[in-house]
Amino acid sequence: MSNKKYYWLKLKEDFFEEDAIAWLEEQEKGKDYCLFYLKLCLKSLKSNGLLIRNVGSMLVPYDAKTLAKITNTDMDTVRVAMDILTKIGLIQILENGEIFITQLQNMVGSETKWAEKKRLQRQKKDNVPRLSGQCPIEKEIEKEIEKEIEQDTDKDNVVVNCFKYAQKVGVLLTPYHYQELVSYIEDGVDDNLIIRAIDIAVGSGNRNFNYIKGIINNWLSSNIKTLLEAEDHKRKFKKSKSIGEKDGKYQDYAKHLDSKVEGGLSTEETIRAAAELGIEL
C-alpha cells in the first residue's frame, strides 16, 4: 500500500511582523509580493525549498513567464517580486539557476498518510469514554504506532541535516538530489557516512553531487552503510596493501638470494642482504 506523504506550510503568529515580511508589505503592491512569496513556498515544500524544472535529462530554471503561470501572478509583479525577494534574502538564485527559498526549512510540516491515519485514530479513541483500561495488546500496538511515527520524523530530520550540511560546504543541490538523499536514508545508509562522503568530495575540490553519489555507491557495493564499517574497511584495505607490499619485498629478497653464490650465505650475509631491501630479519 502506498504511504503518500503530505506537506504543509507552518507560519508563526508573528510571521507578518518579521522585518523582511513587514518591509515587503510596505512596498507598493507589497501584499501581492507576499502572496507570490507564499505561493513559491508552497510550490517548493516537497523539494526542501528548491525550485527547478526537470525537462527530460536537463534541469531548466524557472523563467518569469513560467513562474507567473504556476503562481497565477501577472508577469510584472513576478519580475519585481523576484528582484525584491532576492535583495532582502528571502530567496537565492543558485549557480545553475535554481530558486532557493532560504527560510523554508523553518516553515515545513510533513506527515505520511499512515501517520495521519494513526493520529486520527488516536484522536477518535481519546474522545471515547472508556469503561476499563487498555488490554496489554492494545498498549503494545499503541507503542508500536508511536515508535513508527517517531522514526518517520527522525528520518526527515536526518535528510534535512545532510542537505543543509552539503549546502553549507558549497555543494550545489537540486530537489532530485534531496530525493536521492531520502532514498539513501531509507535504504539504511547512516547520515554520518553521507556527511563523510561530502567531506571527501569537498576535500578533493569536487562539489558535484554525482561525485558524492559515486563515493556512497562504492561503499554500498561493499555493503558498507555506516561510518564505523567504512573506517573498518579502510583499515583492512591498508593492512592487506601493507602485506602485499611486504610479500613483494620478500619475493625480491628471494631473487636476490638466488643471485648469490650457490653454496648459500652465512647468517650475517643473509641479514645484510635483507637489509639492502629494507627487510628486517
Q: Which long-range contacts (CB under 8 A, 24 or more apart) does 57-66 make?
A: 59/96, 59/97, 59/98, 59/174, 59/176, 60/97, 61/96, 61/97, 61/98, 61/99, 62/97, 62/99
Mean pLDDT of 88-101: 84
With cut-offs at 50, 70 and 90, classify the pLDDT of residue 261: very low
**Confidence at residue 114, expressed as pLDDT on a 0 to 100 scale:** 47
**Confidence at residue 64, expressed as pLDDT on a 0 to 100 scale:** 92
Q: For 188-211, how does the pLDDT look when each residue is reduced to its tens digit (9 = 90+)? A: 899 999 999 999 888 888 888 888
With cut-offs at 50, 70 and 90, classify the pLDDT of residue 94: confident
Per the model's pLDDT, the better-predicted residue between 21 and 122 turns out to be 21
**Confidence at residue 146, expressed as pLDDT on a 0 to 100 scale:** 53
Residue matched to cell numbers 503568529: 13
With cut-offs at 50, 70 and 90, classify the pLDDT of residue 2: very low
Residue matched to cell numbers 510533513: 110
Closest residue by Cα to residue 9 from 116, 118, 114, 103: 103
Q: For 145-199, how does the pLDDT look when each residue is reduced to its tens digit (9 = 90+)? A: 555 545 555 667 788 888 888 888 888 777 678 878 888 888 889 999 999 999 9
Per the model's pLDDT, the better-predicted residue between 248 and 96 turns out to be 96
Q: For 106-144, how does the pLDDT look when each residue is reduced to its tens digit (9 = 90+)? A: 777 665 544 555 555 555 555 555 444 555 555 555 555
Q: For 60-76, how does the pLDDT look when each residue is reduced to its tens digit (9 = 90+)? A: 888 999 999 999 999 99
**Confidence at residue 77, expressed as pLDDT on a 0 to 100 scale:** 95
**Confidence at residue 277, expressed as pLDDT on a 0 to 100 scale:** 45
Per the model's pLDDT, the better-predicted residue between 132 and 220 turns out to be 220
Per the model's pLDDT, the better-predicted residue between 265 and 81 turns out to be 81
268: pLDDT strictly greater than 60: no
Three-state secondary structure of the chain: CCCCEEEEECCCCCHHHCHHHHHHHHCCCHHHHHHHHHHHHHHCCCCCCEECEEECCEEECCCHHHHHHHHCCCHHHHHHHHHHHHHCCCEEECCCCCEEECCHHHCEEEEEHHHHHHHHHHHHHHCCCCCCCCCHHHHHHHHHHHHHHHHHHHHHHHHHHHHHHHHHCCCCCCHHHHHHHHHHHHCCCCHHHHHHHHHHHHHCCCCCHHHHHHHHHHHHHCCCCCHHHHHHHHHHHHHHHHHHHHHHHHHHHHHHHHCCCCCCCCHHHHHHHHHHCCCCC
Q: What percent of the chain has pLDDT over 70?
A: 64
39: pLDDT strictly greater than 90: yes
Residue matched to cell numbers 507503542: 143
Whole-structure pTM value? 0.47
**Confidence at residue 180, expressed as pLDDT on a 0 to 100 scale:** 82
Mean pLDDT of 89-93: 90
Strands 50-51 and 53-55, how do they pair? unpaired
Q: Bridge partners of 58?
A: 55
**Confidence at residue 251, expressed as pLDDT on a 0 to 100 scale:** 59
**Confidence at residue 38, expressed as pLDDT on a 0 to 100 scale:** 95
**Adjacency order of strands within the sheet including 99-101:** 50-51, 99-101, 91-93
